[in-house]
Amino acid sequence: MTTTTIRLPAAQPPGTVLGTAPDTGESADAYRATGGYGTATGSGELLAHLAASGLRGRGGAGFPAAVKLRSVRDNGDRGGPDDLGGRPVVVANGEEGEPGSAKDRWLLRARPHLVLDGLARAAAITGAVRGFVYLSDPAAGASVRRALAEHPPPLPVEVVETDHTYVAGEETAVVRRIDGGPALPAAKPPRPFEQGVGGAPTLVANVETLARIALTAARPDLRLDIARGTLVTLSGGPAGPVLTEVPYGIPLRALASRHGVPDAAGALMGGLFGGLVDARALDLPLEPGALTAAGTALGCGAIRFLAPGACPVTCAADAAAHLAAESARQCGVCVSGTSAIGDTLSALAAGTAGPDTADRLDRWSRGLRGRGACGLLDAAAGLAGSLLRAFPGHVRSHLAAPCPVCAAAAPAEGRRLTVSVPEVADPPTAASPAPLPARPPAPLPVPLPSPLPVPLPALKGTP
């Protein structure tokens, strides 16, 4: 396994999640100076803004945030005001299992107040009486604890740590771990919004979603831009992986160019969850609906571009091997299915696959979806199907003769890419004021729409 540290961008405009100092932890005072922890936007008004903006969750599924908040609130109401066991719970989920994603760990390390403000606002909307921050990154845990001490939230909030695995951030795994069990997915229903932590209706929200809720509370006039901005972790370019923030709608090809691979041969989308796409798909916009309609997914926003000459079969084999190794081994069909897909793709890359390989991959890609308790098996099945769809010529050529690119590649174990987050500086204290930015904003090789293009008119009276 190769772990590469991501690069952080230079200062971004106020109103973005990356903020003005991505490489420095943000103090409570600095956060308040951006309008954070303000009281101008009430919870009912905020929920209306979130509904109107169409903000979607950033954990992978992309569910509308306002719908999820309302569901938890309404299930809590059914318990009645004296039913404390049934009063809602809110969870900031910072456990990112996708090996190519770094945004959630960075966010908790660098902007913990933005997340905690969003968690408190989600609690106010849902009527929650307890909150949790769920994570596995020790540096993120230290950052959140420091922020909780610096600015105590209006409800009890506990940090719960877990071991890092691919499935530990799945919402039912989150609930099980907080309740003292293993961080493994459970059968659904019930879903956490119906019955979660301690049996109470529970909002499990990705930390970037909560950050965008807090930004919307501070700047409701920019709600559409906040809802359409998104963090993405890009890899596969010559300068290594990078975390950046872009508006929905930007073509994937522009992102590839910005990342130094304008002639990318395709991409692995959504971490491992969106499968492979070919070069033609790079004309698609980075927008959840458009990508889903095209048979792929934005997921957590991790995109690995395939450099020209890279072999998509190697890429698929590495991704499938990762999934097979990360199966939680609870569902028999997942244990056998992910192993079979991983072994078959590895044999294809090694030039030892049998003539029925494409048929078997096709059968598994259709028959295994939805049969596990979580999305891992779906990811493996989707990966197999996407390779057949996007790169049929490569599959045929690998069956006909050994692939020189695969043969020249490093041993499989060393090819698997995970990304890590660089250290961010501690928040400045009164005794050590914030240093001047060390790096000027880098010019963009490709003109991009600004994350905050046009200030919107004031929204007084907007439903």
95: left (phi over 0), alpha (psi -120 to 50) or beta: beta
Stretch touching ligand SF4 by CB under 6 A, among 14-22, 322-330, 385-393, 400-408:
322-330
Between 217 and 374, CB nearer to ligand SF4: 374
Residue 341 binds ligand SF4 (CB under 6 A)? no
Which of these, 117, 113, 92, lies nearest to 104 by C-alpha position?
92
Question: Looking at 50, 140, 373, 421, which residue binds ligand SF4 (CB under 6 A)?
Answer: 373
Percentages helix, strand, coil for the chain, rounded to the nearest 5?
Answer: 45, 15, 45
Between 250 and 373, CB nearer to ligand SF4: 373
Which of these, 353, 361, 346, lies nearest to 413 by C-alpha position?
346
CB of 376 to ligand SF4, least distance (A): 4
Side chain identity, residue 350: A
Question: Looking at 36, 62, 274, 372, which residue binds ligand SF4 (CB under 6 A)?
Answer: 372
CB of 163 to ligand SF4, least distance (A): 14
String of contacts with ligand SF4 for each residue 169-208, x by CB under 6 A:
----------------x-----------------------
Between 146 and 369, CB nearer to ligand SF4: 369
Stretch touching ligand SF4 by CB under 6 A, among 95-103, 238-246, 372-380, 453-461:
372-380
283 in Cβ contact with 252 (< 8 Å):
yes
User: What burial letters (b/e) apply to 332-346, b meaning 16+ CB within 10 Å?
Assistant: eebbebbbbbbebbb
Which of these, 224, 50, 246, 26, lies nearest to 116 by C-alpha position?
26
- Rounded Cα distance, 248 and 250, in Å: 6
Pairing of strands 229-235, 302-306: parallel
Residue 381 binds ligand SF4 (CB under 6 A)? no
Question: Looking at 376, 387, 395, 419, which residue binds ligand SF4 (CB under 6 A)?
Answer: 376
String of contacts with ligand SF4 for each residue 394-433, x by CB under 6 A:
----------------------------------------
For 390-412, the DSSP string reads H-HHHHHHHHHS--HHHHHSPPH
Taking CB atoms, the residue at the shortest distance from ligand SF4 is 372
The residues of the shown chain that bind ligand SF4, judged by CB under 6 A, are 167, 185, 327-331, 334, 372-374, 376-377
